[in-house]
Chain A
Amino acid sequence: MRPSFFHHLHPPTIPTAQARWRHTLAAGGTAIFLMLILGVTGILEMFYYIPNPEEAALSVQTITYLVPFGGFIRNLHYWSAQLLLIVSAIHLLRVVFTAAYSHPRRFNYLLGLTLFVIVILLDFTGYILRWDVDICYPLLTGTNLLKTIPLIGDALHRIAIGGGDACTSGLLRMYVWHIFGLTLPVIILGVWHAFRVRRDGGIAVPPPQVRTDNARISRNELVRREVLAMFVIGIALILLSSFAPAPIAPAMPTTPAAIGAAASQSARAPWFFLWVQQMLKWGDPFIFGIVIPIGILVLVALIPYIFPKPADSDIGTWFPKSNRFAQITIGLVSFIVILLTLLANAK
């Protein structure tokens, strides 16, 4: 048989331990599945979406209310994106809690983390594409944050939205970043990430000498489990998309005077950035909006490099002793982010 990427990812047999639900939580595979759905529904939306400030929100309304199944397609795109963020976060947590990031998987850990960051940016740029009254202040404050970065801030602002006024211009850039500038890296890094999983010896489990359970499952069984996971997620997506429509708000006015009045009604960041908005209430935007979030990211990226190497027999087991520091670090980070989000919701 001709070797293919599919066969690279699905060898004839793999250790059962690598394919247990309670070990992987099926999170990485679900992320891939959601990305495929995002790709397909996104391309379908491109047939109707018009990336200019006068027509964007109206074209979203066209998709939602007029195009046959348009609302459903849009809901699928929306819900897959929200689930992708959650599932990637769960995947990241499981990789740290099971010490799976350790050598030889350190490089793939960084690939994964980069994917996570790009996925957040994709969710943000996608949200901006609605170009309704809700997106003005998040876009304005987000891009003004870039300007607070010394030396390169203004250039970054121009790279992001073309250097103009956030709520009257910049949509074309957001569009191209969303459908191409961020999507292409996700495809390349995503394929690379999946390729590396097998190259690094498959999902992390203790080495055969110390493994108690040496059972193996066949390729067919692996595929069967993958299909089952896709089926469950698929049903969840269909239910969500049928009964919980993606948010839609009136179009953003086109004159600055009217924008001010309309935008002040909704100064709320999208849910995944509420924690940053909450910190920004505390003071200097550069510190709380740039330095701290990037600091957290760097800390998470350094986990495989600064903490003691987990014992071989611990790799791929839940909450092993030799991995305490990493677990506490990622646990604290998640706790703080969730707490800040709740705080932002409290008012």
Chain B
Amino acid sequence: MNVTQWKNKMTDLSRRDFLKLIRNGFLYLSGVLVTGGLLRFLSYESEPKRKTEFDIGSADNYPLGSRTSIPEIPALLIHTESGYTALSLTCTHLGCTLEPNETGFACPCHNSSFDEAGNVIHGPAVKPLQVLRIEITDDGNIKVFTA
């Protein structure tokens, strides 16, 4: 379409077509606004955030050489010569809880498996298990942080 044709088309726009255009514009606009508002309304975070801090009791409960499963996190607390480590037992694929087996941990959901140190033996998971941050409180308790 060249410029003159375009101009002709512009002037061809009758009063009725113009009103129709405006009306449809308003209809679409209000549709978009209502949908947007509805989605925002629905996307409020109504459920409580997951706990990220766990006090798992006195460090004395976890003697040297022990490997203790803490199901509520879920994590494995390992106490070795070099100190305490908390290995997350949440599968890095889609979040199911891992179960211990002969070689390490296996996931019941899509069969990922991990070795004792949390490295992937086979997928679908690609990321190794998370090593969780630990703090020993003043009164000798162990605190594990998942975030």
Residues of A whose CB lies within 8 Å of any CB of B are 137, 140-141, 144-145, 155, 158-159, 161-165, 169-170, 173, 255-258, 260-261, 263-264, 267, 277, 280-285, 288-289
Pairwise interchain contact B124-A141, C-beta atoms closer than 8 A: no
Pairwise interchain contact B45-A257, C-beta atoms closer than 8 A: no
| Residues on the A chain within 8 Å of B50, using CB | 164-165
Rounded to whole angstroms, the CA-CA distance of A158 and B49 in the bound complex is 11
Rounded to whole angstroms, the CA-CA distance of A173 and B41 in the bound complex is 13
Q: Taking A141-B109, A261-B71 as contacts, is the C-beta distance between A163 and B94 under 8 angstroms?
A: no
Determine the main DSSP class of B at the interface with A.
loop
Q: What are 22 A-B contacts defined by CB distance under 8 Å?
A: A155-B39, A158-B42, A158-B43, A162-B46, A163-B45, A164-B46, A164-B50, A169-B47, A170-B47, A173-B46, A256-B71, A263-B96, A263-B97, A264-B96, A267-B109, A277-B109, A277-B110, A281-B124, A283-B126, A284-B124, A285-B124, A289-B94
| Residues on the A chain within 8 Å of B118, using CB | none
Pairwise interchain contact B111-A281, C-beta atoms closer than 8 A: yes
| Residues on the A chain within 8 Å of B44, using CB | 158, 162
Q: Taking A257-B72, A261-B71 as contacts, is the C-beta distance between A280 and B110 under 8 angstroms?
A: yes
Contact of B39 among A159, A165, A173, A258 (CB under 8 A): A159
Pairwise interchain contact A264-B108, C-beta atoms closer than 8 A: yes
Scan residues 27-86 of chain B and give those whose CB is less than 8 A from a CB of chain A.
39, 42-50, 71-72, 74
List the 10 closest A-B pairs by CB distance, nearest first.
A164-B47, A267-B108, A162-B47, A257-B72, A163-B45, A169-B47, A257-B71, A162-B46, A141-B94, A281-B110
CB distance from A250 to the nearest CB of B (A): 17
Pairwise interchain contact A164-B72, C-beta atoms closer than 8 A: no
Rounded to whole angstroms, the CA-CA distance of A260 and B72 in the bound complex is 8
Give the residue name and chain of the A residue nearest to B42 (CB). A159
Interface-centre pick from B50, B71, B108, B109 (highest chain A CB count, 10 A): B109
B123 at the interface (CB under 8 A from A): yes
CB distance from B41 to the nearest CB of A (A): 9
Contact of A280 among B48, B72, B94, B99 (CB under 8 A): B94
Contact of A140 among B42, B46, B71, B96 (CB under 8 A): B96
Which size class do B's interface residues fall under?
A: 20 to 34
| Residues on the B chain within 8 Å of A155, using CB | 39, 43
| Residues on the A chain within 8 Å of B143, using CB | none
CB distance from B95 to the nearest CB of A (A): 5
| Residues on the A chain within 8 Å of B47, using CB | 161-165, 169-170
Rounded to whole angstroms, the CA-CA distance of A258 and B74 in the bound complex is 11
| Residues on the A chain within 8 Å of B123, using CB | 282-283
Q: Taking A141-B109, A158-B45, A164-B48 as contacts, is the C-beta distance between A285 and B96 under 8 angstroms?
A: no
- Extra A-B contacts (8), CB below 8 Å, given A158-B42, A260-B72: A140-B94, A162-B44, A164-B46, A165-B50, A258-B71, A267-B108, A280-B93, A283-B123
CB distance from B73 to the nearest CB of A (A): 8
Interface-centre pick from A159, A170, A288 (highest chain B CB count, 10 A): A159
Rounded to whole angstroms, the CA-CA distance of A255 and B71 in the bound complex is 10
Rounded to whole angstroms, the CA-CA distance of A130 and B96 in the bound complex is 19
| Residues on the B chain within 8 Å of A164, using CB | 45-50
Rounded to whole angstroms, the CA-CA distance of A173 and B46 in the bound complex is 10
Pairwise interchain contact B124-A137, C-beta atoms closer than 8 A: no
Rounded to whole angstroms, the CA-CA distance of A169 and B72 in the bound complex is 15
Rounded to whole angstroms, the CA-CA distance of A263 and B46 in the bound complex is 24
Pairwise interchain contact A264-B97, C-beta atoms closer than 8 A: yes
